[in-house]
Amino acid sequence: MDLQQVKQRFGIIGNAPSLNHALRIATQVAPTDVSVLISGESGVGKEVFSKILHQLSNRKHGKFIAVNCGAIPEGTIDSELFGHEKGSFTGAFEARQGYFETVNGGTIFLDEVAEMPLGTQARLLRVLETGEFIKVGASKVLKTDVRVIAASNVDLPTLISKGKFREDLYYRMNTVAIHIPALRERPEDIPLLFRKFAVDFAGKYATQPVQLDPQAMSFMQQYPWPGNIRQLKNVAEQVSVLEQFRLVEGEEILRYLPPMVSKSQLPMVLPNGGAQEELNERDILYKVLFDMKKDLNELKKVVGHLVTQENLEDMPAAEQVYIQNLVADGAESKSLSITPQFVSNAPSNEFRSRFDTQPDVEDIEENLSLEEVERQMITRALKKHQGRRKNAAIELGISERTLYRKIKEYDIDF
């Protein structure tokens, strides 16, 4: 069975190389009886992979059970997995078979295996090595033929170093390892997944499938998706139910993402797997202007402090005017400029070096419109890179599509 058939049979959507690699390993190891450890973040579909391993194996006609180790209380997990005898503990009014006994000849999937207590880990290790186990409160050794597939969303070697997980059990389970990539590691699959979920919910709620315009879909692909596919499905359902119009445009999609993640915090996932923070162009301009204002006010404070230690009457007239211009109006000054009054009577270079951070000071108008600053920055970047939009967009920290839109908006000719 090729990968495409596997995807269709088990409802797996996506063509990312990392996903295909994980599927390829699963299909190759499925016919064997070796133990498999599936790793990946919560919500990536680890249980689906466990079903692939079972259904494509010789045990496909046997029983399959998925056990969430983190959801079973520590005091009862041994009884759940291995069974118990009547009267073995308070509340044990009758004997009970555990999962390893009832699933004999089949497959058991232990999800969140890192949550398993150390005592239970020792019992599990014996099952994996010899196929033997003992019920709680019993002395008779029982045999079982069960294939164990384990999964964890945490780093088990780290837990081993902290003494919270048995090293021998880890290597016994990790005969074959399958890592399922997080959704943010395969952004090219997000449009396919969203469309699938949108169609499913349209049928469920008897509506037309919701669609995203290119900009909205771009935001979806830039979002980190900490909840992975489970979270994406949840967002698709919210949009399908709450949106009045069937086409969601631009930033409207951000209303359905967690409030702690704003547009300026969305990472841009690059084709080579790296990620960088792509700020919105307006946010960049605000940051630049605020930094300018902060630097100017700090300079004025420093100069004002130095002036209090100087005797202005003993200074040349040109230098007195120079200092007075620097400290004029304090932090509420609209601009910091060098007036013609002392340009023609410039103070000495030695004096200027004591106060200037730059030899040549340009006029900086703090209330300059953001649109004009934005236009100038784009024009300079295009000229610098001789009209190559891709290079200019990289330097500006915006996408090439956004740069193209801004060029049209400001009618920039280069």
Q: What confidence tens digit (pLDDT) does each residue in 326-363 have?
A: 555 444 444 444 344 433 444 555 544 544 444 444 44
Spatial contact of 227 and 44, defined as CB atoms under 8 Å apart: no
**Domains in the chain: boundaries:** 3-181, 184-278, 289-363, 370-410
pLDDT at res. 130: 94
Q: Which two structure tokens, joined as six digits, stand for 21?
A: 């690699």
Q: Which two structure tokens, joined as six digits, stand for 290?
A: 């605020």
Compute the distance between CA of residue 84 and CA of residue 201 in angstroms, rounded to an integer. 44
What kind of architecture, by CATH, is found in domain 370-410? Orthogonal Bundle (1.10)
Which CATH number is 184-278 given? 1.10.8.60
pLDDT at res. 284: 61
- How many helices (H) and strands (E) are present in the chain, helices listed first? 18, 15
Write out pLDDT tens, residues 122-153.
999 999 999 999 999 888 999 999 999 999 99
pLDDT at res. 39: 96
Residues of the chain with pLDDT under 70: 259-291, 293-295, 297-369, 414
3-state helix vs strand vs coil in the chain, percent to 5: 55, 10, 35
Q: Which two structure tokens, joined as six digits, stand for 281?
A: 């162009």
pLDDT at res. 309: 52
Compute the distance between CA of residue 399 and CA of residue 284 in angstroms, rounded to an integer. 13
pLDDT at res. 107: 97
Compute the distance between CA of residue 304 and CA of residue 405 in angstroms, rounded to an integer. 45
pLDDT at res. 314: 58
Spatial contact of 103 and 127, defined as CB atoms under 8 Å apart: no
**Domain 3-181 homologous superfamily, CATH:** P-loop containing nucleotide triphosphate hydrolases (3.40.50.300)
pLDDT at res. 194: 96
Compute the distance between CA of residue 201 and CA of residue 36 in angstroms, rounded to an integer. 34
Write out pLDDT tens, residues 15-52.
999 999 999 999 999 999 999 999 999 999 999 999 99
Compute the distance between CA of residue 112 and CA of residue 128 in angstroms, rounded to an integer. 17
Q: Which two structure tokens, joined as six digits, stand for 260?
A: 């702690």
